Amino acid sequence: MRVGILGGGQLGRMIALAGYPLGVRSTVLEPGEESSAGQVCPQISGEFDDFRALYELARASDVVTFEFENVPVESARWLAERVPVFPPPRALEVSQERLAEKQFFASLGIPTPPFAAVDSREQFDDAVTKIGLPAVLKTRRFGYDGKGQAVLRTQTDCEVAWAKLGGRPLILEGFVQFDRELSIIAVRGRNGQIATYPLIENVHRDGILHRSIAPADNPGEELNERAAEYASRVLSELDYVGVLTIEWFQDGPRLLANEMAPRVHNSGHWTIDAAITSQFENHVRAVCGLPLGRCDAVGHSAMYNFIGAVPSITEVLANPDAKLHVYGKSFRAARKVGHVTLRAATADELAEKLPEWDRQFERISGDVV
């Protein structure tokens, strides 16, 4: 099988790498000359709306997938007329627009924070009255890693946020005083088979994922089952094929859907080193029409992102629990350039080692490779 991947970032790289042991070859389409994925598989350089480049990708592929959700929906639809495209372009459409996404969750009976559409100053004031403060104002499109959003606590915050974001299609959400953030990664095969990884506990810094713990500490059977059941509603409704991620706020016993990503996800990187089948392998299996692998965690793990720079390799590997992944990207502020996963045999062992790991991988301190 030959898989075409729209997007040449680290997710594309890890999808391509997961394909090799199965005999699956990947080709990546990426606007830049060089890319993280392009270092491990052939790359076609072209924009995502360049139909000549898309045509070339279709010819090189038995199935096409994508590694980020801002691929133009028209390009995915155009490709789908020529070669199977998984996940389905409709999943892209829903997840590219925060209002459509929240309405989609609501239509499936999946709880979300309270939300309202904001298309004018008048609607903004009405929404603030209805939802109350604190609240979060977000752009409906092209928001990621906390970009294009503002937390509103006072009327002054509202004025400042409106001056910055007003005029674009926006959504106002109630600010959730969550206990913690969780995510679930689920996968659906071409034959409708569904498999789900255990809930993952995520900590963000400056809107960017900092640390994931898997399985989440003590989520309880009930919470895991509920998240898996919500995910399978989304998968079935979209006739989905591939890996899907849903991010949640846990507020006491409540799980509120924040957003979904129709792709493999940063909070699932631990699955490479600490699950029976990685999210990347299961994505490849799903889109290629192969049976899915088990999603069970092997022991307990913590994953830390390296943002902006990777610390000295020697230093990282001096920790015998560390499994290092470097993405081959140049170092730049706020850029995800690598990660490390550390495994422990039991939850108790993880809890014991976590403070030391937290200290070691707190934040990068200029000491680069």
The residue ranges that bind ligand AMP (CB under 6 A) are 113, 136, 143, 146, 173, 175-176, 181, 204, 207, 258-259
Residue whose CB is less far from ligand AMP, 90 or 204: 204
Cross-strand pairs, 184: 246
Residue whose CB is less far from ligand AMP, 100 or 326: 100
Residue whose CB is less far from ligand AMP, 19 or 148: 148
Amino acid at 144: Y
Q: Say if residue 213 is exposed, middle or buried (CB neighbours under 10 Å; 0-12, 13-18, 19+).
A: buried
CB environment 279-318: b (16+ within 10 A), e (fewer):
bbbbbbbbbbebebeebebebbbbbbbbbbbbbeeeebee
Cα(332)–Cα(254) distance, integer angstroms: 38
E strand or H helix at 2 = strand 2-6
Residue whose CB is less far from ligand AMP, 4 or 143: 143
Q: Which residues contact 288 (CB under 8 A, 6 or more apart)?
A: 1, 3, 22, 24, 62, 63
Residue whose CB is less far from ligand AMP, 256 or 287: 256
Cα(157)–Cα(150) distance, integer angstroms: 8
| Phi/psi of residue 323, nearest 5 degrees | -115, 115
Q: Tell me whether strands 2-6 and 63-66 are parallel, antiparallel or unpaired.
A: parallel
- Least Å distance, CB 245 to ligand AMP, is 11
| Phi/psi of residue 45, nearest 5 degrees | -95, 120
- Least Å distance, CB 256 to ligand AMP, is 8
Cα(313)–Cα(38) distance, integer angstroms: 22
Q: Which residues contact 317 (CB under 8 A, 6 or more apart)?
A: 324
Residue whose CB is less far from ligand AMP, 203 or 351: 203
Residue whose CB is less far from ligand AMP, 136 or 186: 136
- Least Å distance, CB 110 to ligand AMP, is 15
Is-contact 226 217, C-beta < 8 A? no
- Least Å distance, CB 152 to ligand AMP, is 11
- Least Å distance, CB 294 to ligand AMP, is 29
Cα(342)–Cα(324) distance, integer angstroms: 9
Residue whose CB is less far from ligand AMP, 258 or 301: 258
Cα(241)–Cα(223) distance, integer angstroms: 24
List C-alpha distances in Å: 140 to 87, 155, 219.
Answer: 21, 22, 31
* DSSP state letter for 70: T
3-state secondary structure of 17: helix
- Least Å distance, CB 70 to ligand AMP, is 13
Residue whose CB is less far from ligand AMP, 57 or 152: 152
- Least Å distance, CB 317 to ligand AMP, is 30
Residue whose CB is less far from ligand AMP, 152 or 292: 152
- Least Å distance, CB 161 to ligand AMP, is 13
- Least Å distance, CB 281 to ligand AMP, is 26
- Least Å distance, CB 53 to ligand AMP, is 29
